[in-house]
Amino acid sequence: MIKLSWRNRGFWDKMKEVSSRGVSHRAAKVSDMKIPDTSSSSLFTPLALGQAPGKIILFGEHAVVYGRPAIAAPVQQVRARAEIWPAEACTVEAADLHRRIPVADASPDDPLARIVRLTCEALARPLPPWRIRIASEIPVASGLGSGAAISAAIVRAMLAAFDAALDDATVSALVYEVEKIHHGSPSGVDNTVVVYERPVWFMRGKPPQPFAVARPIHLLIADTGVSSPTRIAVGDVNKAWEQDPTRYETLFDAVGSVAQRARSAIETGDVAALGPLMDENQRLLAAMGVSSPELEALIRAARAAGAAGAKLSGGGRGGNMIALVDDEHVGLVSRALTAAGAVSVIATTIPPAIVV
């Protein structure tokens, strides 16, 4: 897992305090946060902060690219963050990735520079004299939406620094443009979930639909440690579909049916039904050729330890898998995943939610 270090983690503790007072937890101007002064120089205080969560796909990956539904949810336990500091020119810095990008001179296909330019264009503002420092707890190329989360965090921080606003649909559209650089032909799931920060029912070309979650859903997310760029897996599935469209359309239809049944189970609180549906979805993904020995080993270990169901999440070929667990088995399954080779295990819960 790539974790970019922060010298000012106290700022993020303060963001939690701001959130509890009613200010958006996704972005804040430091001047609004009442952070105690630690220096007489403003150089030691960022202008603004922004953040966004990771995401998991519960059901429907790959088939969603071909018009079938998918269900995805945010992962609040891992987040991407951006700080904005005064500077002489506009740059983006990812220190632990050893990257410093002068935005004005950057290539059009540099994703970090691209999201800065798009945000300025959306606000009709020139490039500002800012140093934008990014950090992420989200593993790269693992199916958790790291690229989308970083882009969203940058947009949120820039909006706070400009004292401007864009609605979620516009922010999601900006992030989607950068997702094209990362993934080639993205479904739109990642940008939607990390921006809206709630479970969504997603179909390509249609507005995302928040939906009711009747009972909490407890999951473990295990990282194989194998980097697997989504662009490659999506491209390979597309090539296979072109060679045998009848077979792959049948697989995509079956995945869409699984997603439909999963939504009904989630809305009615039938959590027990989700485990077999996860297993069915995994069999279909394996038939598409996007599983891997590392994923299969973790999936077997989770099921053997008591998980109600397990599947890969995201592009596959590596990255992460998810396992449905209850309170009795969460510790057993977590230890089994680690013993089977998982480099990290994250426990997350999708809380109950109503749709007004």
**Per annotation, catalytic residue among 110, 190, 223, 279:** 190
Strands 344-350 and 209-210: unpaired
What count of other Cβ atoms lies within 10 Å of the Cβ of residue 199? 26
Report the interhelical angle of 111-123 vs 146-162 (nearest 10°). 40
Neighbours of 177 (CB within 10 A): 16
Cβ contact 52:149 at 8 Å: yes
Among candidate residues 322, 321, 255, 315, the one with its CA nearest the CA of residue 290: 315
Give the Cα separation of 311 and 114 in Å (integer). Answer: 33
List, as one string, the DSSP characters of 37-53. Answer: PS-SSGGGS-SEEEEEE
Task: Name the token pair of 186.
Answer: 């993205």
What are the helix (H) ranges across the chain? 9-20, 111-123, 146-162, 168-183, 189-196, 230-243, 245-268, 274-288, 293-304, 330-339
Q: Which of 308, 298, 324 is nearest to 223 (CA)?
A: 298
CA dist., res. 150 & res. 136, Å (int): 7
Alpha carbon of 22 to those of 19, 28, 32, 269: distances in Å?
Answer: 5, 11, 12, 30
Token digits of residue 144: 């958790």
Compute the C-alpha angle 69/53/208, nearest 5°.
30
Instruction: Report d(CA 156, CA 164) in Å as an integer.
Output: 10
CA distance 214 to 268: 6
| 190 catalytic residue (yes or no) | yes
- Residue 309: CB atoms within 10 A of its CB come to 22
Whole-Å CA distances, 78 to 96, 122, 159, 230, 282: 17, 28, 22, 19, 24
Active site residues: 190
